[in-house]
Amino acid sequence: MFEGIYLWDAKHGTPKRNASREEVADFIDKLAEQPNEVNHNIYQFTRFFDDFVKEASEFYEEPAITDYIGMSDYDKNEPVELLYYFDELAQEIPEHYWAVILKGAQINNLVVYHTISEQLKDPKNTKQTTEGFAIWKRHLNKLKTKEKERELSLSKKTKPLNPNELPETLMYADKTKHPNMVS
């Protein structure tokens, strides 16, 4: 079993709530040995998470985000592995990344196991999941608002060029305008 975050469809079962790390590892290893199957819950999760990484990549550029852009670009009727795996949380926004994984898992009936913290989450864990996802959405809205404010302030600082006040570098030696300049 690799260190990271595993997801699987709840229809395949869930280890006991108080299962040891070894028992969970055995459960995951057995799932990994199963043949691939068409799984619309996993597909819907990848679409949900793909939306998140597209939004997050506007503000964060780390590979744990950008590498997952387009993760749902496959035929939903194509067989996939029973286990979906993330090797790490995004370092810049780990709590938001985790919250989005949990929310996507909850709405798509997936079980989540984080090997490092040994957290096992079934789809019924709704309160923490809903709160964490709402915090991400508020954070994203703040980022978008700041970006709009920055763009607005930049647009107020710039004014269109007056062709009659062009710097010497944009004019020919005989003081005529460059042909690409619009007057």
- Asked if residue 44 belongs to a domain, the reply is yes
Number of domains into which the chain is organized: 1
Mean model confidence pLDDT for the chain: 84
pLDDT at 155: 72
Cα separation of 164 and 88, whole Å?
A: 57
The pairing of strands 110-114 and 119-121 is antiparallel
- Asked if residue 170 belongs to a domain, the reply is no
Confidence of residue 163 (pLDDT cuts 50, 70, 90): low
Over range 102-116, report the average pLDDT.
Answer: 92
Structure-model confidence comparison of residues 47 and 157, the more confident one: 47
Residue 16 has pLDDT above 90, yes or no: no
pLDDT at 148: 86
Range of the domain at 137: 5-143
Residue 71 has pLDDT above 70, yes or no: yes
**CA dihedral of residues 145, 59, 138, 101 (deg, nearest 10):** 160
Above pLDDT 70, what percent of the chain?
Answer: 81
- Asked if residue 101 belongs to a domain, the reply is yes
Longest dimension (CA), the chain: 85
Confidence of residue 38 (pLDDT cuts 50, 70, 90): very high
pLDDT at 47: 94
- Asked if residue 151 belongs to a domain, the reply is no
| 58: CB partners within 8 A, 6+ apart | 143, 147
Residue 181 has pLDDT above 60, yes or no: no
CA distances from 148 to 51, 84, 93, 171 (A): 20, 36, 21, 35
- Asked if residue 67 belongs to a domain, the reply is yes
- Asked if residue 156 belongs to a domain, the reply is no
Question: In this structure, how many other beta carbons lie within 10 angstroms of the beta carbon of residue 14?
Answer: 17
Rounded to the nearest 10 degrees, what angle do helices 40-56 and 94-107 cross at?
150
Question: In this structure, how many other beta carbons lie within 10 angstroms of the beta carbon of residue 89?
Answer: 18
Confidence of residue 164 (pLDDT cuts 50, 70, 90): low
Residue 18 region by backbone torsions, left for phi larger than 0, else alpha for psi between -120 and 50, else beta: alpha
Residue type, 77: N
Residue 64 has pLDDT above 70, yes or no: yes
Residue 177 has pLDDT above 70, yes or no: no
| Region of poorest pLDDT, from 30-39, 79-88, 152-161, 169-178 | 169-178
With tokens 């196991």, the residue in question is: 113
- Asked if residue 13 belongs to a domain, the reply is yes
Residue 166 has pLDDT above 60, yes or no: no
